[in-house]
Amino acid sequence: MRRTVAPRVPSALRTCRLTACLIATAALLPPLLVLHASGAHDAEDQRLQTAFTDAAREFHVPRSVLMSVSYMQSRWDTHSGTPSVAGGYGPMHLMDTTLARTPAQSPAPGPAAPDGGRADPLAGTAFTADGHAVQPADLQRAARLIKVPAGQLRTDATANVRGGAALLAATQRHLGKPLSADPDDWWQAVERFPGTRDITSATTYANDVFGLIRRGAHRTTDEGQEVTLPATPGVSPHHGPQAPKRPKEVECPPDLTCDWLAAPYEQIDDDGDYGNHDLADRPRDQRIEYIVIHDTESTLPNMFQTVQDPTEASWHYSIRSSDGHITQHVRTKDEAWHSGSKFVNARSIGIEHEGFLSHPGTWYTEQMYRSSARLVRYLAKKYGVPMDRQHIFGHDNVPSPTGDSIPEMHEDPGPFWDWRHYFDLLGAPLKATAGPDSPMVMILPDYATHKPRYTGCEGDGKPCRPHGSSAVRLYTRPDEKAPLIQDPGRRPDGDPSTEDVSDLGSRASTGQTFAVADRRGEWTAIWYQGNKAWFKNPAVHPTAVGAAGRMVTPKEGLDEIPVFGRALPEEEAYPDGMEEEDESPLPYSLRAGQRYVTQSGLGGSYVDRSTFSATPQPVVVGQQRYYEIQFGHRLAYVRADDVDVLDSRSTGTTGTAGSTDSAGSADSAGSADSSGSAGSEAVPDGQ
């Protein structure tokens, strides 16, 4: 999560309440989950596949239904036996309700949710519109059904799968339906499996399950298990009930249930301090061009307290881990204080996801990923946000507004957020757009099998459990024994970069695109914060793929150019009486011969939102043009007047600032629209 620079609010008042949550999370960590083979001749990497087949046969559940439900619960991962935030275990995400609150027991905030039926969250039981009680995938109940100790379902993946199959069969019988071999007959049982307390979310969940059955899937799990769900194209889609009426403030796609819990805009004291967001009139006064992905580093009930506190930070949406439920706090037209940069806040929407970056076992769950992707896809379409990693990025990629702010910037959602899967869900898959010898590369390791070493998950210096990761590590030489690349802004005292899970100084992340600086055997070097940064990129298991697009390089005759953390207007653009904002170049250089990837140009702008007011403050729009670049692990900006724009397919200059070419020059990209707002415009590839 994370607080940003807020107007005149003392920093002591803006501290998140995390200690109790971290202690509670650590207390939940159990022994490693294991897969017991059901037969002596089972291949080691087929044991989970066999477990699904055996359990489906034992409990007379269609294997496709069992496997697809498990995929929606966990993507078939065991998470090494660690529970999710909701207390869910194993590939079926069975909830141990003795340890954690379930979705039915953790209602959304505010008024009763408009769920199309009735709900009694205090009783811990929800009801669908047809009056049937909905129970979560209860681990204790599953243990009773298969007559094994509950602890075995936490630590034995085969027993966990059997428990999930038994729950599905029990629900089917409770509904008075046969244990049919036809997946279509299991729709209502699937709706009820996760214990979702509103009918819209339950229908969306079931549609996802049956959509996967139609398409099929294959995946290597976090334990190296090869699991395949064959496609069954003949399974019928279903249409759920009409979406319930929502609070008028809520902005959400129709297939999601969303609630409203307002963040306060109010004055704190007589000195003019106020919180916890700013009024704006976006997109009329300022385009929305970024969507920032956060994790909470706390449990959601704590975050709901935080967002209602005017002395704390704010964000637009929260997404619950257990079931993907969404709560909105700030209207998208207004500016939340979430990113650590007022410049980015003015142009972005911030979304918090319940989870902990150093505890991947507490799960960025599949239901949370899917709800988030639906929301982001809806917002991106509504506001014209390009679906790439220079516009949809993590809090850990937000450009530092000034050099002094670099060490204070945040690290979430961290290296365990699965960007590749997330962009698949967005419908904008990350993939090669050029051959392997292209002068540009996109970072794209295989998440499940790419498990670099990290430390610090359970304490300073202690190794983290191996886990899939979206990040590759960067070295000063093509040698894994070489020192790691160092971020001089993050560590101005010269301390070396480390393998700590929160140390971003020597990483590049999935979907980020960089200019190639060199290649040697299995190693690739990219231009990164003014230096060559090397990462291992073998042809057999590549960690990056060829990319096509645009790069910037200093104009001929310029030895180096400044790099900025925000794109501000020129001095002449400020109205009389308004003090000019200091440009504050970052402590890096972009030198002659170096290249950095750009996916958009934008105009400089500034808004002085530092005063409590009943109306939005005016946006200052300048004529100075900038390019946004992938400069390191964070984004940055360079003046268009300082650079030439190169095409990766020719590596020749296709346009310079002030000229016009078919892809849109600095003059056309991001020009003010008819309402006078300042914004950016994607630089198209392939034109």
Using only C-alpha atoms, the chain has a radius of gyration, in whole angstroms, of 25
Confidence of residue 469 (pLDDT cuts 50, 70, 90): very high
- The pLDDT value recorded for residue 85 is 81
pLDDT at 570 exceeding the cut of 80? yes
**Statement to judge: residues 310 and 170 lie in one domain:** no
At 661 the pLDDT is: 33
Per-residue pLDDT at 124: 36
Does residue 511 carry a pLDDT above 60? yes
Same domain, 305 and 395: yes
pLDDT score of 647? 94
Note whether 77 and 153 are same-domain residues: yes
Euclidean distance between CA atoms 527 and 515, whole angstroms: 6
**236-262 mean pLDDT:** 83
Report residue 259 as tokens. Answer: 């609630």
Q: What is the pLDDT of residue 33?
A: 56
| Other Cβ atoms within 10 Å of 480 Cβ, number | 11
35 pLDDT tier (thresholds 50, 70, 90): low
Task: Write down the pLDDT at residue 166.
Answer: 97
How far from the centroid of its chain's Cα atoms is residue 687's Cα?
30
Residues with Cβ within 8 Å of 167's Cβ and at least 6 positions away in sequence, in order, are: 92, 94, 137, 138, 141, 142, 145, 193
DSSP-derived pairing of the beta strands 326-328 and 258-260: parallel
pLDDT band at 240 (very low <50, low <70, confident <90, very high): low
DSSP assigned state of 495:
P
Can you list the pairs that 487-495 forms with residues at least 24 positions away whose Cβ atoms lie under 8 Å?
A: 487/406, 487/529, 487/632, 487/633, 488/529, 488/587, 488/588, 489/400, 489/403, 489/406, 489/407, 489/586, 489/587, 489/588, 490/406, 490/407, 491/407, 492/407, 492/587
Nearest to 593 by CA among 648, 527, 638: 527
The gap between the terminal CA atoms of the chain, to the nearest Å, is 38
The whole-number pLDDT of residue 664 equals 32
One domain, residues 430 and 377: no
Q: What is the pLDDT of residue 97?
A: 77
Mean pLDDT across the chain: 85
Is residue 476 one of the residues assigned to a domain? yes
Containing 639, the helix (H) or strand (E) segment is strand 635-639
In the chain, % of residues over pLDDT 90: 70
pLDDT score, position 585 = 96
Q: What Å distances lie between residue 523 and 469, 507, 536, 567, CA to CA? A: 19, 15, 5, 34
Domain of residue 257, CATH code: 3.40.80.10
Phi-psi region of 79 (alpha: psi -120 to 50; beta: other; left: phi over 0): left
pLDDT value at 303 more than 70: yes
Residue-level pLDDT at 362: 72
Cβ neighbours for 64, distance < 8 A, ≥ 6 positions apart = 183, 213, 229, 230, 232, 235
Report residue 685's pLDDT band, with 50, 70 and 90 as the boundaries. Answer: very low
Q: Confidence band (pLDDT; 50, 70, 90) for 60?
A: very high
Using alpha carbons, select from 103, 95, 101, 105 the residue that is nearest to residue 154. Answer: 95
Of the residues 388, 414, 440, which one is the last residue of a structural domain? 414
Banded model confidence at residue 360, pLDDT cuts 50, 70, 90: confident
The domain in which residue 523 lies consists of 416-548
Tell me: the pLDDT tens digits for 368-416? Answer: 999 999 999 999 999 999 999 999 999 999 999 999 999 999 999 999 9
Structural domain count of the chain: 4
- Tell me the pLDDT band of 135, cut-offs 50, 70 and 90: low
- Per-residue confidence (pLDDT) for residue 36, from 0 to 100: 56
Three-state SS for 300? helix
Assess whether 423 and 410 both reside in one domain.
no
Judge whether 522 lies within some domain: yes
| pLDDT tens-digit series, residues 606-650 | 999 889 999 999 999 999 999 999 999 999 999 999 999 999 988
Is 242 part of a structural domain of the chain?
no
What pLDDT was estimated at residue 44? 81
Residue 349 resides in a domain: yes
Indicate if 476 and 374 belong to the same structural domain.
no
Higher pLDDT pick, 131 / 215: 215
**456 and 512 share a domain?**
yes
Domain-terminating residue out of 414, 436, 467: 414
For residues 195 and 149, membership in a common domain is answered with yes
pLDDT the model gives residue 460: 87
Strands 513-520 and 440-443: antiparallel
How far apart, in whole angstroms, are the C-alpha atoms of residue 572 and residue 620?
10
* Same-domain pairing of 540 and 565: no
**Within a domain: 112:** yes
Q: What is the pLDDT of residue 668?
A: 30
Beta-bridged to residue 118, according to DSSP, are 127
Least confident among 74-88, 171-185, 215-229: 74-88
Would you say 143 and 152 are in contact if contact means Cβ atoms under 8 Å apart?
A: yes
Residue 338 located in a structural domain: yes
Averaged pLDDT, 417-444: 97
Which tens digit of pLDDT belongs to each residue from 65-78? 999 999 999 999 98
Q: Are 155 and 114 in the same domain?
A: yes
Which pTM value belongs to this model? Answer: 0.87
Same domain, 558 and 637: yes
Name residue, tokens 């899970």. 501
Average pLDDT of the segment spanning 106-116: 39
11, part of any domain: no
Residue 381 domain-assigned (yes or no): yes
In degrees to the nearest 10, what's the CA dihedral of 638, 641, 643, 644? 140
CATH number, domain containing residue 110: 1.10.530
Model pLDDT for residues 253-294, shown as the tens digit of each residue: 988 989 999 999 999 998 889 999 999 999 999 999 999 999
Edge-to-edge strands, sheet with 317-319: 258-260, 326-328, 317-319, 348-353, 290-295, 392-394
Tell me: the pLDDT tens digits for 665-682?
333 323 333 334 445 443
539 and 497 in a common domain: yes
